[in-house]
Structure 1
Amino acid sequence: MFGKKAQPPIKSLIAHGSRVEGNLRFTEGLRVDGEVVGDIRAMTEEPSMLVISEAAVVQGEIHADHVIVNGTVRGPVFANELLELQPKAHIEGDVSYRALEMHQGAVISGQLKPLAVGEEKPLLKLAANNQ
């Protein structure tokens, strides 16, 4: 379902050791390795991807089509398409998603809220631990 679409390129980076205070809007792709205190929102009708790396901390709402989390998020997450939770993901807030992929070790302290399209049930994929 999602593998057929080309992913938007990561064109922006908030580097490790950087701190951004205030709301942030981006187009296409954004990778956060540092800290953001404020909301992060994709601002176009084009497909969007947000990557929150293992060292990253975000305090605020997140809105994007494809969201990959391997760090800490304190606030609600809205993934219009796919939410990927990597093994070190820690979310303190509710998550809304169309499809969810969650690896062993990821933690959500909040409610899971699937985004329903008509009567279609959301896709839920559990990642196997292949170590």
Structure 2
Amino acid sequence: MFSAKDKSSNVQYDTLISSKTEITGDIHFSGGLHVDGVIKGNLMADAGSSAVVRVSNKGRVEGQIHAPNIIINGPVIGDIHAGEYIELAKDAQVTGDVYYQMMEMVLGASVNGQLKHQATEAPVKKGKAAQTVLLDKVD
């Protein structure tokens, strides 16, 4: 099984928000998004993408984050929805709820909100009808 560090080292970040940039408004993206600046708006990955958001210790997000793969090492004010995994590094400061399937949280990271584990859904076929079964991942 891959850890968040294994996955993040192979990511190509297509978009960089530099430390000298402040954006007000929602951002829709696919691919890799690295944030060193300030974003006052929601970050939303395209549905079905394997997008990665990385907020460095220089960056800040004031809004919700919706993406399959998320790495936080700075302040985020808003709920975070990680479809696959989230890594909260030592300088992560989250003010909001964190919805996740797999999580890595390093000593020093803080969350002022709730951690809410989300079950994965997998279709199961029986006869002619398909059913949805909830699976809890335990790592």
Matches of 1:37 and 1:105 in 2, distance apart? 25
Q: Deviations over 1:68-114 (max 9, x none)?
A: 00000000000001100000000000000110000000000000011
Q: Match for residue 87 of structure 1?
A: 90
> What residue is the counterpart of 1:119 in the other structure?
135
SS in 2 for 1:105: coil
Inter-partner Cα distance in structure 2 for 1:34 and 1:119:
37
CA distance in structure 2 between the partners assigned to 1:101 and 1:18 by the alignment: 29
Secondary structure at the aligned position of 1:101 is classed as: strand
Q: 1:5 to 1:17 in 2, by over 3 A?
A: closer
Question: TM-score scaled to structure 2, two decimals?
Answer: 0.82
The 2-side partners of 1:48 and 1:111 are apart by: 24
Question: Counterpart in 1 of 2:100?
Answer: 97
Aligned to 1:72: 75
What amino acid is aligned across from residue 83 of structure 1 in structure 2? Answer: I
Distance 1:122 1:78 in 2: 18
Q: Which has the larger radius of gyration?
A: 2
Asked if 1:2 corresponds to 2:5, the answer is no
Counterpart in the other structure of 1:127? none
Structure 1 residue runs without a partner (length 5+): 124-131
One-letter amino acid of the structure 2 residue matched with residue 32 of structure 1: V
Q: Deviations over 1:33-69 (max 9, x none)?
A: 0000000011142211000000111000001111000
Structure 2 CA distance, aligned partners of 1:98 and 1:120? 8
Whether contact under 8 Å (1:93, 1:109) holds in the other structure is: yes
Supply the distance in 2 between the matched residues of 1:122 and 1:109 (Cα, whole angstroms). 24
In structure 1, how many angstroms separate the alpha carbons of the residues matched to 2:138 and 2:116?
10
Identity of aligned residues (%): 36
Q: How many residues align?
A: 123
- Which stretches in structure 2 are left out of the alignment for 5+ residues? 121-133
Q: CA RMSD in A?
A: 1.7
